[in-house]
A and B are shown apart, each in its own frame.
Chain A
């Protein structure tokens, strides 16, 4: 059997085989899974919980695949909330006819990424759907993390002068995905930045008391993420265009497509607001870490009161542009 058939989803022998050969082989069989639910102790008063569905196209892309992304995405959502990722569950929706070889590769990289980030995959589910019902494979993951009281984020402490730091080049994932879509031809060979940030973030949280808030700028990119922060917590951020790290080839691809890297997805970056007294220390820790080599202070909080709430970009030509959320509409305004 080389491809998934509807029978793989019927709950019978074939299902059992699939689970044994594909999932157990990679994920192992932990003792928590002996019941219909995973039963596990949580070493904390406070937990963080997050869920996400992964429908990325193409399923395999330079720097990763949908499986790796499903783990890093959930791990990062927990980590930027100040939690230590603990366990993950995974649900698979597989299109009839999907190659088993590909499924194995995906599951394998999930296991590898889970191990790297130190989380256990404790429960799972598999459904097979008719051809055309999903595009290849969708994965849903839920993650639970534990919060250590001393690492709790304090967005209410944000004040004028705080620094905004991003952990590396932006837009890599967005452009990698676009390039991987064969239709565009080879745009660049840039790789997705898809990576689990929890160890790096843990180190930052352990060392630096002045971290106010963190986010992972995924869908909608750095700009949309910052706009949401500004609006939710009523502060105004001014970022300096020249100090936002962007790879040359990512910028080049953006120039051709007419995209702005500030709005492209990232899957291995964290943006944080820190007390400006801690900015150098945070930068040092980041730059010492493989995943934070290109970290940069990109701006600061310029005001923080009820009327604040804008994201401003100081452009290379010296003007200040207000940035809004990623807009679904692509409409030139130049008349």
Chain B
């Protein structure tokens, strides 16, 4: 039977070659009609034989274009209009959903093949792309996504490109960044003085030679400049660290191929899939200890961040047999936003030897995404290139709400209709440069989505940058407790909205009692929460300084728990700091610059310092990261051994976790020269046990509570902690949720904030 249907496909269906795909189906299954984009998605009017139409629908659902992500397909029968052919018609700027800003994607296999084919007109062209790959978000000025609204506007298509662009059967049909060596962008190599040395092919060859000679080259990519150098040369890695002012923080590498990755790291087939996905994130892998990689790439760690070439230019660099693996770290001095504009060249000259740049303007910078595989799921450490900006559907009324996120690993969220658009990872809002970058990106999103600053959610911390930003706005401010936001972030991430328990293990967050929280057992939902248990507070002598110097934390705990013996222990553990220990003692007694804190992050810091692993931290989380890395370094024998702790009923409704017996025993073990790995393993087992016992006790006191637990907060980046607590609680009959799509660290805060704001307005 011949009939007509209207199909609406929603999800990530624009800028991914969906219309040419439908066009091709119309030839295959012999139907006529139209296809067009509107703000809801793709709308298809199809008239054909019923059986053929069904096959077409089946193919749409089962084999959509690689970059597409279909959320919803709705089909309505409509009256026949007797179309004579099938056509792609211009975009419509209406619809009820929110506009989808397409994400940047790694070069696809077809383009890669063409680029390597000497007979192809784009042979070795570093900007080859198609509807399935290439830059998107980073080049878009405004929506709808058309070439004239991108930074490709300045390049006028040559005749050949124009023909491909207009041909509905061509795989570059409406590929907005389409170009070739005749009409498109070019590459130039500069020296430090800003003198142009070479262009295009010869610039790329020279760059490879320079890298091999041990030079540092800034390379402009999709979202900004990277600093690149040969990853096999220890000396140049040290130089790069000096220039970037980043003494210890791990640097990511880009390996030529999966084979090279296999040579350098242990990698599961699941991890291989993530590594080669169209998002091409940095994947944290276990590196082989006997490998060729110098240890200064990720000092003190057994892991390394690895990615594969994701732009045509990257592939051309590796085409040359000489290069196998390069450091690829964002080109910015520590703490500053990623450099991405060509007028940043002057700045770049100070941190590299040469600059390989191109004239396709980056409109918005973006970092590489970082993910980790925990044995079951992909965990987001940093959500950026490739993974965003993907709107999330929500059942909460978030329309016209903006959530500004935390102070570190900042992301913000903007609510439009029933969707939330989360920004990419912006960074730490420690300085004006980052704050400006934050503001610019926020305004950009607001303009994209048409959301005004009416209702703005911020953290309660009085000293966060967002707290001052929000005061400058004329808006309704919704202040949200840090760990409540973590709690709800994890609920929303799992599409869960009943009141539930949350174990929030975190760094430092502003507590409602003015102390620093971060080891919290909460119960609640977006409307409200109760704090049911927490880690006992101990002093942080020196405030923020104590966060940067973990040994202070340890001293704060020891002097607080055991004023006499604790001091002797401090002097044994930190003999080089006698004078300072005396000072800390007085600071604690007189409460000078010494806030009180009960946090998991600071606990890890203290133990890390006690065990001599890290007493001064040069990057955020260093002490905890290096400590927990011991859990990966060797194959652990399974043990149930743990240290002792107390759960005290402080007030009838608030339990307090006292870990002082554990700390004491750890020090004894350390002083008796027990194996550090064994101590660390026991420490982890203790924390797992704490989590489970506190929750069990809470449920005994309050049997009416929902037996669902969410795990959130930055400390859950510790894979062991997350999976063991989850396992343990599940054994006790709890439903346990961990983060899936947003990071458990402060990068996920804005999601929780926007949901809470929606329920508190």
Binding site for B on A (CB under 8 A): 183-185, 187, 255-259, 312, 315, 317-322, 324, 327, 329-335
Contact A258 B507 (CB under 8 A): no
A30 to B546, CA, bound (A): 56
Contact A258/B543 with A185-B582, A331-B510, A334-B408 known, Cβ cut-off 8 Å: yes
Contact B406 A335 (CB under 8 A): yes
Collect the chain A residues with CB atoms within 8 Å of residue B589's CB: 183
Q: Which positions 546-602 of chain B face chain A at CB distance < 8 Å?
A: 546-548, 580, 582-583, 586-587, 589-590, 592-595, 597, 601
Contact B430 A332 (CB under 8 A): no
Contact A334/B507 with A184-B586, A258-B541, A319-B335 known, Cβ cut-off 8 Å: yes
Contact A334/B583 with A315-B431, A319-B336, A322-B435 known, Cβ cut-off 8 Å: no
Contact A257/B593 with A331-B462, A334-B544 known, Cβ cut-off 8 Å: yes
Contact A256 B433 (CB under 8 A): no
Collect the chain A residues with CB atoms within 8 Å of residue B582's CB: 185
Contact B595 A321 (CB under 8 A): no
Contact of A257 among B408, B506, B583 (CB under 8 A): B583
Collect the chain B residues with CB atoms within 8 Å of residue A255's CB: 545
> Can you list 7 A-B contacts (CB < 8 A)?
A184-B587, A257-B592, A258-B543, A331-B462, A331-B543, A332-B597, A335-B508
A259 to B583, CA, bound (A): 13
Q: Which residue of A lies closest to B431 (CB)?
A: A319
Contact A332/B516 with A257-B587, A319-B336 known, Cβ cut-off 8 Å: yes
Interface string of B506-530 (1 = CB under 8 A from A): 1111100010101000000000000
Q: Which of A255, A257, A329, A335 has the most CB atoms of chain B within a 10 A radius of its CB?
A: A335
Collect the chain A residues with CB atoms within 8 Å of residue B544's CB: 258, 332-334
Taking the complex as formed, is B711 at the interface, i.e. its CB lies under 8 A from any CB of chain A? no
5 smallest CB-CB distances across A and B, nearest first, come from: A258-B542, A258-B545, A335-B507, A319-B431, A332-B544
Taking the complex as formed, is B620 at the interface, i.e. its CB lies under 8 A from any CB of chain A? yes
A98 to B406, CA, bound (A): 52
Q: Which residue of B lies closest to A334 (CB)?
A: B547
Interface residues of chain A: helix, strand, loop or mixed (majority)? loop
Contact A334 B508 (CB under 8 A): yes
Q: Which residue of B lies closest to A321 (CB)?
A: B431
Collect the chain A residues with CB atoms within 8 Å of residue B586's CB: 183-185
Q: Which residue of A lies closest to B336 (CB)?
A: A319
A259 to B543, CA, bound (A): 9
Contact A330 B594 (CB under 8 A): yes
Contact A317 B516 (CB under 8 A): no
A259 to B594, CA, bound (A): 11
Q: Which positions 650-684 of chain B face chain A at CB distance < 8 Å?
A: none
Collect the chain B residues with CB atoms within 8 Å of residue A331's CB: 461-463, 510, 516, 543, 595
Contact A258 B463 (CB under 8 A): no
Collect the chain A residues with CB atoms within 8 Å of residue B433's CB: 319-320
Q: Which residue of A lies closest to B486 (CB)?
A: A335
A317 to B620, CA, bound (A): 16
Taking the complex as formed, is B686 at the interface, i.e. its CB lies under 8 A from any CB of chain A? no
Contact A184/B335 with A317-B245, A331-B595, A333-B461 known, Cβ cut-off 8 Å: no
Contact B593 A259 (CB under 8 A): yes
Q: Which residue of B lies closest to A335 (CB)?
A: B507
Chain B interface size band reads 35 or more
Collect the chain A residues with CB atoms within 8 Å of residue B583's CB: 184-185, 187, 256-257
Contact of B432 among A185, A257, A320 (CB under 8 A): A320
Shortest CB-to-CB span from A179 to chain B, Å, is 11
A320 to B333, CA, bound (A): 12
A263 to B245, CA, bound (A): 26
Contact A318 B542 (CB under 8 A): no
Collect the chain A residues with CB atoms within 8 Å of residue B746's CB: 335
A317 to B243, CA, bound (A): 11
Taking the complex as formed, is B134 at the interface, i.e. its CB lies under 8 A from any CB of chain A? no
A334 to B605, CA, bound (A): 13
Contact B432 A332 (CB under 8 A): no
Contact B333 A318 (CB under 8 A): yes
A320 to B432, CA, bound (A): 5
Collect the chain A residues with CB atoms within 8 Å of residue B168's CB: none
Contact A321/B430 with A330-B595, A335-B407 known, Cβ cut-off 8 Å: yes
Binding site for A on B (CB under 8 A): 245, 333-336, 406-409, 430-433, 435, 461-464, 468, 482, 506-510, 514, 516, 518, 540-548, 580, 582-583, 586-587, 589-590, 592-595, 597, 601, 620, 714, 745-746
Contact B463 A333 (CB under 8 A): yes
Collect the chain B residues with CB atoms within 8 Å of residue A320's CB: 431-433
Collect the chain B residues with CB atoms within 8 Å of residue A259's CB: 593
Q: Which residue of B lies closest to A320 (CB)?
A: B432
A256 to B545, CA, bound (A): 9
Contact A334/B548 with A184-B583, A185-B583, A257-B592 known, Cβ cut-off 8 Å: yes
Contact B508 A319 (CB under 8 A): no
A315 to B518, CA, bound (A): 30
Contact A322/B580 with A258-B544, A317-B335, A330-B543 known, Cβ cut-off 8 Å: no
A273 to B416, CA, bound (A): 48
Q: Which residue of B lies closest to A322 (CB)?
A: B432
Given A184-B587, A334-B508; 10 other pairs, CB 8 A cutoff:
A183-B586, A184-B590, A185-B582, A256-B542, A258-B542, A258-B593, A319-B433, A320-B432, A329-B463, A335-B714
Shortest CB-to-CB span from B462 to chain A, Å, is 6
Contact A333/B407 with A257-B542, A257-B583, A257-B593 known, Cβ cut-off 8 Å: yes
A308 to B586, CA, bound (A): 41
Contact A183 B590 (CB under 8 A): yes
Shortest CB-to-CB span from B165 to chain A, Å, is 43
Contact B587 A324 (CB under 8 A): no
Contact B509 A317 (CB under 8 A): no
Collect the chain A residues with CB atoms within 8 Å of residue B592's CB: 184, 257
Shortest CB-to-CB span from B532 to chain A, Å, is 21
Shortest CB-to-CB span from B748 to chain A, Å, is 12
Q: Which residue of A lies closest to B435 (CB)?
A: A322
Collect the chain A residues with CB atoms within 8 Å of residue B540's CB: 332
A335 to B485, CA, bound (A): 13
A315 to B597, CA, bound (A): 28
A296 to B235, CA, bound (A): 39
Q: Which residue of A lies closest to B595 (CB)?
A: A330
Shortest CB-to-CB span from A238 to chain B, Å, is 10
Shortest CB-to-CB span from A227 to chain B, Å, is 12
Q: Which residue of A lies closest to B590 (CB)?
A: A183
Contact of B508 among A185, A330, A332 (CB under 8 A): A332
Collect the chain B residues with CB atoms within 8 Å of residue A187's CB: 583
A324 to B556, CA, bound (A): 28
Collect the chain B residues with CB atoms within 8 Å of residue A330's CB: 543, 593-595
Collect the chain A residues with CB atoms within 8 Å of residue B468's CB: 322, 324
A189 to B740, CA, bound (A): 56
Contact A258 B336 (CB under 8 A): no
Q: Which of A185, A256, A330, A332 has the most CB atoms of chain B within a 10 A radius of its CB?
A: A332
A320 to B543, CA, bound (A): 21
Collect the chain A residues with CB atoms within 8 Å of residue B516's CB: 331-332
A259 to B336, CA, bound (A): 24
Shortest CB-to-CB span from A256 to chain B, Å, is 5
Q: Which residue of B lies closest to A187 (CB)?
A: B583
A245 to B599, CA, bound (A): 37
Collect the chain B residues with CB atoms within 8 Å of residue A333's CB: 407-408, 461, 463-464, 508, 544
Contact A335 B509 (CB under 8 A): yes
Collect the chain B residues with CB atoms within 8 Å of residue A327's CB: 462-463
Collect the chain A residues with CB atoms within 8 Å of residue B542's CB: 256-258
A319 to B332, CA, bound (A): 11
Collect the chain B residues with CB atoms within 8 Å of residue A256's CB: 542, 580, 583
A324 to B471, CA, bound (A): 14
Collect the chain A residues with CB atoms within 8 Å of residue B435's CB: 322
Shortest CB-to-CB span from B471 to chain A, Å, is 11
Contact B541 A332 (CB under 8 A): no
Contact A312/B432 with A187-B583, A258-B593, A335-B746 known, Cβ cut-off 8 Å: yes
Shortest CB-to-CB span from B477 to chain A, Å, is 18
Collect the chain A residues with CB atoms within 8 Å of residue B543's CB: 258, 330-332
